[in-house]
Amino acid sequence: MTPNPILGCGIGLRFQHIDQILADKPPIPWLEILSDNYLTPGSVQQDYAIEVAEYYPVTLHGVGMSLGATEPFNDEYFQRLKSLADQVRPAWISDHLCWTAAHGWVSHDLLPLPYTEETIKHVVQRIREAQDRLERRLVIENVSSYLQYQESYLSEWEFLSAVAEEADCKLLLDVNNIYVSAFNHDFDPCKYLDSIPIERVQQFHLAGYEDKGTHLLDTHGQPVSDPVWGLYKLALQRFGALPTLIEWDNNIPSLEELLAEAHKATEAHIHAFA
């Protein structure tokens, strides 16, 4: 069966809202399911995700693939993810251009990679393997970062573009992450946007950050900030009115508030071309 099309501005599915969504079936263009929270086969969580997917177009968004890691992929992770995908039929599956596990430990956090030619080769081969395992093209997201490695000599946008081209994958541009990293590493976010190959981008993320004084922290705990809305407008002008998703993971607001934030993104779609 062909998945429903993903159009317009959606929201991330959060446990707090599931009962309300299933009871009221509010008009939501699409929902992003955080795959890692629904990977236990037969769990009540997975049961809910499957029901939501009966009524809404969905995508699966993960944090646990650890695409940039050096240890072998976790077979069980891929089996469970594939089985979840078979049941919710996502339009696409995304994860991050980062690593999460090493040395037998799993950080459950998104850790940045050194931006070198050698890393590109490594990650490209890993993304290809992941795409083969899942039998589909992946969508890869840029992470926000708080450090740069000594050995990095490429810019993040050069690294991301090269990986996407060579692995033949799609990109999820997190506009907030670009802004956060640009502030933290003192680069021009517009230059970043202008360097990404247009045809590779499939989706945008928007979220709120927290200003820690010395750095911006990607907390997903508040509304999207004004400068990020500004950068988003530029992204729309360059890449087109692509599907956009509001991420909110801490201090989760009511469903109505979250949908209002998604509505702001829809309005930006209209005004970006006015």
Partner 1 sequence: MPLLELQHSLIAALFQRDQLAEAAKFVKAQGSLSSEQRVGIYRNSAHGILLDYLESLYPVCLELVGTEFFGRTAHSFIDQMPPTRPFLADYGADFAAYLSAHPALQEMLWIVEVAKLEWARHAAWHTVNQVASDFTQLETLSAEQQAELRFQLPASAQLLSAHSPIHSIWLAHQDEYPDKPQFDEIDLEEAQQVLIFREQRRLHQTTLSPDDWAFLNAVQNQATMADLAEQFADQLPWLFSVAMQENWIYSFTTTPDETKPTRNS
Q: Which is nearer to Fe ion, 174 or 261 (CB)?
A: 174
Q: By CB under 5 A, which span of 81-89, 188-196, 201-209, 266-274 interacts with Fe ion?
A: 201-209
The span from the CA of 120 to the CA of 115, in Å, is 7
- Residue 102 interacting entry, from partner 1, Fe ion, none, C-beta within 5 to 8 Å by type: partner 1
What lies within 8 Å, CB to CB, of 74 at 6+ separation is 64, 66, 101
Of 50, 111, 154, 234, the residue at the interface with partner 1 (CB under 8 A) is 111
* Residues of span 138-177 touching partner 1 by CB under 8 A: 146-152
The span from the CA of 179 to the CA of 210, in Å, is 12
Q: Which amino acid is at 50?
A: I
How many residues touch partner 1 (CB under 8 A)?
48
Closest distance of CB 93 from Fe ion, Å: 14
Residue 50 in contact with partner 1, rule: CB under 8 A:
no
Residue 32 in contact with Fe ion, rule: CB under 5 A:
no
Q: By CB under 5 A, which span of 33-41, 69-77, 172-180, 184-192 interacts with Fe ion?
A: 172-180
CA-only gyration radius of the chain, Å: 18
Specify whether the CB–CB gap between 273 and 229 falls below 8 A.
no
Structure token pair of residue 132:
């083969």
Nearest-CA neighbor of 46 among 83, 21, 6?
A: 83
Structure token pair of residue 210:
């927290």
Of 13, 84, 92, 100, the residue at the interface with partner 1 (CB under 8 A) is 100
CA atoms within 13 A on the CB side of 199: 2
- Residue 114 interacting entry, from partner 1, Fe ion, none, C-beta within 5 to 8 Å by type: partner 1
Residue 102 in contact with partner 1, rule: CB under 8 A:
yes
What lies within 8 Å, CB to CB, of 256 at 6+ separation is none
Of 28, 30, 61, 66, the residue at the interface with partner 1 (CB under 8 A) is 66
Q: By CB under 8 A, which span of 153-161, 209-217, 224-232, 255-263 interacts with partner 1?
A: 209-217
State the angle between helix axes of 175-185 and 226-239 in degrees (0 to 180), rounded to the nearest 10. Answer: 120
Residues forming the site for partner 1 (CB under 8 A): 36-37, 39-45, 47-48, 64, 66, 69-70, 74, 77, 80, 99-109, 111, 113-114, 118-119, 122, 146-152, 185-186, 214-215, 217, 250
